Amino acid sequence: MANRKKPLVVVTRKLPDSIETRMRELFETRLNVDDAPMSQADLVAAVKTAEVLVPTVTDRIDAALLSQAGPQLRLIAQFGNGVDNIDVSP
């Protein structure tokens, strides 16, 4: 069986240590170790490269940002409750 590369997951803010540890085991993971809000430019870079984006409720994921996403972006897996900060319009 051929080795499949692990999906690239970009996490926008600090998550609980146990979750970050497990994510590193399962995925190629880019963590925000400083836990500072990502700039708009950093979010654009994330959606252009990530297969999975893991934002938190403090991140604004709007249509302008999503329009810059690369074709590899498959999932936005928010850490938190609700989707008020994510443009989910069809």
| Span between the terminal Cα atoms of the chain, in Å | 38
Report pTM.
0.86
Query: Where along the chain do its domains lie?
Result: 8-76
Q: Are strands 52-54 and 28-30 parallel, antiparallel or unpaired?
A: unpaired
Burial 74-83 (b: 16+ CB within 10 A, else e): eebebeeeee
pLDDT per residue as tens digits for the range 20-59: 999 999 999 999 989 999 999 999 999 999 999 999 888 9
CATH of 8-76, one of 3.40.50.1100, 3.40.50.2000, 2.60.120.380, 3.40.50.720: 3.40.50.720
